[in-house]
Amino acid sequence: MQDLALSQDLIKKGAVVHVTNNGELSADSVEVTALFFKDGELADFCTAFFNDNDGQVKPGATLSQQLTTDKEFDSVEVYLSSGQNYGW
């Protein structure tokens, strides 16, 4: 996971999240969770898996998705979790 870079661009109904693999191994099962807050309180959350047709984020690749909510929010925190493909 230390080789995965996470960034986001806020949009009206959520965030466009970008995951980049800066490592030498493919990342498997990359899951991103966005927490939407209103006045410091959790208003909603959204999760999504980031993967290509092989179910991975390959070295050098950047994948993007929109994570959205119908709730009002004023801030977003984004977290990721992943497995690593060790070729076993």
Domain range holding 49? Answer: 4-83
pLDDT beyond 70 at 88: no
DSSP-based helix, strand, coil % in the chain, nearest 5: 0, 65, 35
Per-residue model confidence as pLDDT tens digits over 24-73: 999 888 999 999 999 999 999 999 999 998 889 999 999 999 999 999 99
Q: Is residue 88 one of the residues assigned to a domain?
A: no
Q: What CATH number does the domain containing 76 carry?
A: 2.60.40.10
Q: Is residue 56 one of the residues assigned to a domain?
A: yes
pTM: 0.85
Write the burial class of residue 19 (CB in 10 Å: 0-12 exposed, 13-18 middle, 19+ buried): buried
How many residues are recorded in the chain?
A: 88
pLDDT of residue 2: 81
Distances (CA, A) of 3 to 9, 20, 21, 24: 20, 8, 6, 8
- Stretch among 7-16, 29-38, 64-73, 75-84 having the lowest mean pLDDT: 75-84
How many domains are there within the chain?
A: 1
